[in-house]
Amino acid sequence: MVEHRISLNEQRLGAVMAVLGGCGARRVLDLGCSTGNLLRSLLAERQFEQIVGMDVSHRALEIAADRLHLERLPPMQRQRITLMQGSLGYRDQRLAGFDAAAVVEVIEHLDEPRLAAFERVLFEFARPKTVVVTTPNVEYNVRFETLPAGKFRHQDHRFEWTRPQFQAWAENVARRFNYAVRFAPIGPDDPVVGSPTQMAVFTQQS
């Protein structure tokens, strides 16, 4: 039998799509969308009537527009999706009024003052009903044979958290902004170090 190893990227995408699909969202934000992997999956599901991808990188958004063939989409499809340049460190009126937001592998790129600003920008001002956040689980790094001990997975990462660190952060955010939060592993769940990616799903309580 040939085993198909589904890449961690695909598993992450699948897990996030399952949450967004399952919560019944129609209007969704992909914050830190980069070159549009998640956006492509969202476009393929008719449930999602309004899709917004935001990133701080103009270049990433250009590539996303290209990869998604935005210029060639029929008008009905084209009007479902908007790409916008912006930073999660600043309050942004354009982010208000959404059912759900995905923040996939982004928080570890924010330095600490920006992370604190991001918490308010998303959970206080934009305030989607559901928020999905994923980030590396640093405990798992010892299982990556090619990663030298103590090194992060990307040089642009400002931090990588253990499961207790991520859970403490998420529970604090949930408490301050009146959300419930649950956690799920993504990728192979090692009995000692857990899974390579960790996910928090926040649900607005009022």
Stretch near ligand SAH under the rule CB under 6 A, chosen from 86-94, 125-133, 180-188, 191-199: 86-94
Among 19, 25, 29, 60, binds ligand SAH (CB under 6 A): 60
Residues facing residue 135 across a β-bridge: 198
Handedness of CA 77, 79, 81, 84 (dihedral sign): positive
Among 50, 87, 203, 204, binds ligand SAH (CB under 6 A): 87
Among 42, 104, 131, 173, binds ligand SAH (CB under 6 A): 104
Site map 33..52 versus ligand SAH, x via CB under 6 A: xx--x---------------
106 binds ligand SAH (CB under 6 A): yes
Q: Residue 90 or 180: which CB sits closer to ligand SAH?
A: 90
Among 55, 119, 139, 160, binds ligand SAH (CB under 6 A): 55
Q: Residue 102 or 175: which CB sits closer to ligand SAH?
A: 102
Q: Residue 81 or 88: which CB sits closer to ligand SAH?
A: 88
Q: How would you list the strands of the sheet with 130-136, edge to edge?
A: 81-85, 50-55, 27-31, 100-104, 130-136, 197-204, 179-186
Among 25, 29, 32, 187, binds ligand SAH (CB under 6 A): 32
- How would you write the chain as a 3-class SS string? CCCCCCCHHHHHHHHHHHHHHHCCCCEEEEECCCCCHHHHHHHCCCCCCEEEEEECCHHHHHHHHHHCCHHHCCHHHHCCEEEEECCCCCCCHHHCCCCEEEEECCHHHCCHHHHHHHHHHHHHHHCCCEEEEEEEEHHHHHHCCCCCCCCCCCCCCCCCECHHHHHHHHHHHHHHHCEEEEEEEECCCECCCECCEEEEEEEECC
CB of 105 to ligand SAH, least distance (A): 4
Q: Residue 23 or 63: which CB sits closer to ligand SAH?
A: 63
167 binds ligand SAH (CB under 6 A): no
Q: Residue 61 or 174: which CB sits closer to ligand SAH?
A: 61
- Interface ranges with ligand SAH (CB under 6 A): 32-34, 37, 55-57, 60, 87-89, 104-106, 109-110, 114
